[in-house]
Structure 1
Amino acid sequence: MLMLAIFVALVAMICINVPIAVALALAGVLGLLVSEGPSSLVTIALDMYDGSTKFSLIAIPMFVLAGAIMNAGGVTDRLINFVSALIGFIRGGLAMVNIGVSLFFAEISGSAVADVAAMGSILIPQMKKRGYSKELSASVTSSSASLAIIIPPSIPMILYAASANTSVEQLFVAGVVPGLLGAAGLMLVAYIFARRYNLPTEDAFNIPRLRETFIDALPAFSLPVIILGGIFGGFVTATEAAGLAVIAAIIVSIWYREIDVKHLRRAMLDGGMQTAIVMLLVAASVLMGGFLTRAQIPQELARGILSVTSEQWLILLILNFFFLVIGFFLHSAAAIILVVPIVIPLINAAGIDPVHFGLVVTLNLAIGQQTPPVASVLITSCAVARANIWEVSKVNVWFVGVLLAVLMLCTYVPSVPLFLVEYFYR
C-alpha cells in the first residue's frame, strides 16, 4: 500500500511539471520517513553525495566536453567532407553522409542530443537545399543520432553500469555490432527513400578527393582510435578513456587551428547543464533506491514474475514492452535510474547476462528518443528542421522499424552483440 502511495505521489509530481530529480528525491524521502521514521533521514545528504561521485560517472562530463571541443575545433566539418567523398556518390548520398557522420560523432560524444545539435544544424539545411523534404531530413538526422547511445562511448550505458554494478567496458564492446547493424539498416531505408523520390547524388566518386579528405581528417580519426582502442585493448578504463578523449580533442583542434571560442563556450555551458541534470538524477535516485531496497520491492517483483514464468525469452519480452512504454514518457537517464535498480534482481534470478540486458535497455531507450510525446532527440531534430513532429513521425516510423529489428535481433540472438565481449573479456 505504501509503495502504491509513493508511486502515485511520484507520478502526480511529474504530471504537474515538478522536475523528475526533485520528484524522485521527495518520493524517496517520503518513503523512508513513513517506513522508518525521521532517524532514517540523518545521512541522506551524504548518501546522495556518495551515490553521485562514483568513479565511472566522471566519464559523462568528460565525453560531453570532448564532443563540444571537437565540434568547435573544425573536426566535424572534416568528418563530413570525408564521408561525403566516400559515399556521397550514391543516390541519396547526403542522407547516408548524415548517418555515417553520426557513426563517427557517436564515438566521441556519447550523446544523441549533442549529435543532433552538432550535425543537424549543418546537414539539415544542406539536405533541404538539395530537394530532401524537411520531414525526411529531420527523420534521418534524429534516427541516426540515436546511434550515439548504442555505439560506445554511451552515456546511458555508463548510467546503466553504475545502476546495475556491471562492467561499462563490456557494455561498450557489446554496443559495437548493434551500432554498425543499425547504421547499415538506416542507410538502406534512406536509399529506398532516395530511389522513390529521385533524390540527387553528390559529387561523383573521386579517388584524389577521397585521399585528400582522408588525410585532412586523419587527426580526427585518432579520437575513436584512442577511445575504443584503449578500452578494447584493456589499457584504460572507460573513465580514463574519457579523459584521454578530452586531451586528444584539444590537441586535434589546436592542430586544425579553427577553434571557435564562442561556439566552444556555448557548447561547454550546454554540456555542463546536461551533466548537472543527469548527476542530480543520480543523486536523487540514491534516496529512492535506498527505500526500495529496504522495502524489498525489487525482490518482491522478481519473485512475482518468476512465479508466473521462468522462461528467459518471455521475461525479456515483458521487459522489452515495459521499457518501450517507459521510453514514451521518460528521458533515457531518468528511465535507467528509476527502473534498472528495480528489475536487476529479476534479471539475476532469471539467469540473464546483465551486459546483454544492458544493451537491450539501451536499444529500447534509443527507440524512446524517437517516439512522442517526450522524444527528446526527435523534438530537437524537428526544431532544427522547422518541421511538425507528427508529420516527421510518419516518415520516421520506417527508421524506427530498423532500430526495432536490431532490438529484436540482439534480444533473442545474444551471440550477435556478445561475441566481441566473449572474445575480449571471457
Structure 2
Amino acid sequence: MALILFTSFLVLLFLGVPVAIAIALASMVILMQEGVPLMLVAQRMFSGTDNFSLIAVPLFILAGDIMARGRISERLVEFADALLGFLRGGLSIVAVMAGMFFAAISGSGAASTAAIGSSLVPELKRKGYCETSSASLIAASGTIGVVIPPSVPMILYAVMAQESVSRLFLNGFIPGVIMGLVLIVIAIRQAYQRDYPPGSPFSVANIARTFYRAIWGLLTPFIILGGIFSGFFTPSEAAVIAVNYSLIASLFIYRDMGLKDIYRIMRRSIITTGVIMFIIATSSVMSWVLANWNIPAMIAQSVLEISTNPYVLLLLITLLILATGIFVETASALIILTPVLLPLVKLLDICLVHFGLIMVMGLAIGMITPPVAINLYVASSITGLPIERISRSVIPFLLGLLLVLFIVVYLPLFVPVIF
C-alpha cells in the first residue's frame, strides 16, 4: 500500500503535476483501490483546514508582503550599514544582519531575499563587490527568514504535530542567530581574500539618525514576539497585530504606499495563501490514508530494522529532509514529511520541538539548493544573473548552513536540557 501511494505521488511529480494535486490523486488511487467512497476526500480537505492556528498563516504572509513592498526593509539596511558598514566587506555583513532583522518581521525566506536584495544589490555593485557572491549571500541569508520567528513553516509544523507554536518560536532564535554568524564569518573571509574596500567611516551621529528612521521596523519583532512570549496574545492574534502595525507604519508613518499598492499586495498574498491552504487540505487526505493503513508505523519499523542507534537514525532522517528540500518547496515538503516521520521520531523519544527545528532548518536549506531553490531564483531575478552562476557561488554558504544544521541535530543529544 505504501509503495503504491508513494510511487503514484512521485510519478505525478515527475510528470509536472502540481504538488497539491499530486498528493490528492495519489491518495485517491488508494481510496478507489480499497473501495472507500470519494466523499471522504472533500470531508478530509475541509477538516484539514478547519484549525484556528492556521489563521496566522495568511496574516503573517500579508504582513511580510506589506513590509517587503514598503520602505521598512530599506531603513533596516541603512541602520545595519551604519552599525557595521565601516568594516572591510562591511556591506556583506550588512546583508546578513539586515536579513536577520527582516526575518524577525516577515517569516518568509523569499520575502527576506527580495526585500534585502532589492535594497542592497545596487550598492554592492557600485562599491565593487563580486556580484554573484553577493547575490548568493543574500539568498543564503534569506533561509534565516523561516528559522527566526515568526515563521510560517513553524506554524504549519506545530499544527500537524500538535505542538506549541510559542515553544517553536522561542527555540528558533538561537539556531537562526548561529546561522547568521556563520554566514558573516564566511563573508568576512571572502572580503579579505578578494580585498573588498572598507565602508563608510564609523559615525555615532549616523547610527543615531538611521536608528531613528528604522525604529518602527525594529520595534515590530519586539511587539509581536514579546506579546507571544509574555502570554499577552496568541500567535494568531500576533499575526493580526503584525498586519495592522505594518499597514499603519507603511500608510501613515513612512507613507510609502497607497491604497492601490495595498490592493496589489493583498492580491498576491491571497494567491500565496491559496496555494499553501490547498496543499494543507489535500495533505489531510494523504494523512488519513497513511494513518488508516498504518503506513507511518510500518515505515518506522522498517527504519528501526536498519539501526536502533539514535545518532544513525537522526542522520538518515536529516538526509531525507535535505533530499526532499532539494526537489520540493518548503511548505509542501514539510506537510508531506511530518505525518510520515512523526511516529519514528516518537519511537526514538526525540523532543518534537527539536525535530520541528530540524525539519524547518533542513527544508530552509533547500531554498538555496537547485532545482527548486526559490531564494536563488529571487536573487537571480533581482540581479539579472544566470541561476547557474549564483548556484556555484552559494556553495561556501551552503556548507556553513549544513554545519549549523548538524550542530542543531546532535547537540541536544549531549545537552538534553536545551529544549
Q: Same fold per TM (> 0.5)?
A: yes
1:16 aligns with 15
Counterpart pick for 1:218 among 212, 215, 223: 215
Q: Secondary structure at the match of 2:115?
A: helix
Q: Secondary structure at the match of 1:198?
A: coil
Q: Is the 8 A contact 2:73 2:119 kept in 1?
A: no
Q: CA deviation at 1:371?
A: 0.8
CA offset digits 1:346-372 (Å, max 9, x no partner): 111110001001101111111111111
Q: Secondary structure at the match of 1:236?
A: coil
Counterpart pick for 2:224 among 222, 227, 230: 227
Q: Secondary structure at the match of 1:175?
A: helix
Counterpart pick for 1:165 among 140, 157, 162: 162
CA offset digits 1:273-323 (Å, max 9, x no partner): 111111110001011111111110001111222233322211111101111
Identity %: 37
Counterpart pick for 2:99 among 99, 102, 116: 102
Q: What one-letter code is carried by the residue in structure 1 that aligns with 2:256? A: E
Q: What one-letter code is carried by the residue in structure 2 that aligns with 1:380? A: V
Which whole-Å CA distance do the structure 2 matches of 1:51 and 1:394 have between them?
A: 40
2:57 is equivalent to residue 60 of structure 1: yes
1:327 aligns with 325
Q: Is the 8 A contact 1:356 1:418 kept in 2?
A: no
Q: Is the 8 A contact 1:178 1:417 kept in 2?
A: no
Q: Is the 8 A contact 2:69 2:115 kept in 1?
A: no
1:399 aligns with 397
Distance 1:263 1:197, change over 3 A: farther
Distance 1:247 1:262, change over 3 A: same
2:308 is equivalent to residue 310 of structure 1: yes
Q: What are the ranges of 5 or more consecutive residues in structure 2 without an aligned counterpart?
A: none
Q: CA deviation at 1:261?
A: 4.5
Q: Is the 8 A contact 2:82 2:202 kept in 1?
A: yes
Counterpart pick for 2:242 among 240, 245, 268: 245
Paired residues in the alignment total 418
Between 359-368 and 72-81, the greater mean CA deviation after superposition: 72-81
Which whole-Å CA distance do the structure 2 matches of 1:87 and 1:304 have between them?
A: 51
Q: What one-letter code is carried by the residue in structure 2 that aligns with 1:393? A: S
1:203 aligns with 200
CA offset digits 1:390-422 (Å, max 9, x no partner): 22222211111111111111111128998675x
Which whole-Å CA distance do the structure 2 matches of 1:72 and 1:148 have between them?
A: 16
1:48 aligns with 45
1:256 aligns with 254
Which whole-Å CA distance do the structure 2 matches of 1:97 and 1:302 have between them?
A: 44
Which whole-Å CA distance do the structure 1 matches of 2:68 and 2:3 have between them?
A: 46
2:385 aligns with 387
Q: CA deviation at 1:260?
A: 4.7
2:299 aligns with 301
1:194 aligns with 191
Q: Is the 8 A contact 2:412 2:418 kept in 1?
A: no
Counterpart pick for 1:130 among 127, 130, 136: 127
Which whole-Å CA distance do the structure 2 matches of 1:157 and 1:105 have between them?
A: 17
Counterpart pick for 2:290 among 275, 292, 309: 292
Q: CA deviation at 1:250?
A: 1.9
Q: Is the 8 A contact 2:74 2:116 kept in 1?
A: no
Distance 1:359 1:87, change over 3 A: same
Q: What are the ranges of 5 or more consecutive residues in structure 1 without an aligned counterpart?
A: 422-426
CA RMSD of aligned residues (A): 1.8
Q: Is the 8 A contact 1:63 1:245 kept in 2?
A: yes
Which whole-Å CA distance do the structure 2 matches of 1:267 and 1:162 have between them?
A: 26
Which whole-Å CA distance do the structure 2 matches of 1:13 and 1:32 have between them?
A: 17
Q: CA deviation at 1:263?
A: 4.3
Which whole-Å CA distance do the structure 1 matches of 2:112 and 2:239 have between them?
A: 17
Which whole-Å CA distance do the structure 1 matches of 2:184 and 2:262 have between them?
A: 31
Which whole-Å CA distance do the structure 1 matches of 2:187 and 2:258 have between them?
A: 32
Which whole-Å CA distance do the structure 2 matches of 1:116 and 1:258 have between them?
A: 20
Which whole-Å CA distance do the structure 2 matches of 1:416 and 1:110 have between them?
A: 30
Q: CA deviation at 1:14?
A: 1.1
Q: Is the 8 A contact 1:143 1:370 kept in 2?
A: yes
Q: Is the 8 A contact 1:278 1:333 kept in 2?
A: yes
Q: Is the 8 A contact 1:10 1:23 kept in 2?
A: yes
CA offset digits 1:199-242 (Å, max 9, x no partner): 12221110011011112211222210011111222222211111
Which whole-Å CA distance do the structure 1 matches of 2:417 and 2:237 have between them?
A: 24
1:424 aligns with none
Which whole-Å CA distance do the structure 1 matches of 2:117 and 2:289 have between them?
A: 42
1:148 aligns with 145
Q: Is the 8 A contact 2:68 2:111 kept in 1?
A: no
Distance 1:133 1:268, change over 3 A: farther
Q: Is the 8 A contact 2:146 2:360 kept in 1?
A: yes
Between 19-28 and 386-395, the greater mean CA deviation after superposition: 386-395
Q: What TM-score, normalized by structure 2, do the two folds share? A: 0.95
Q: What one-letter code is carried by the residue in structure 1 that aligns with 2:271? A: M
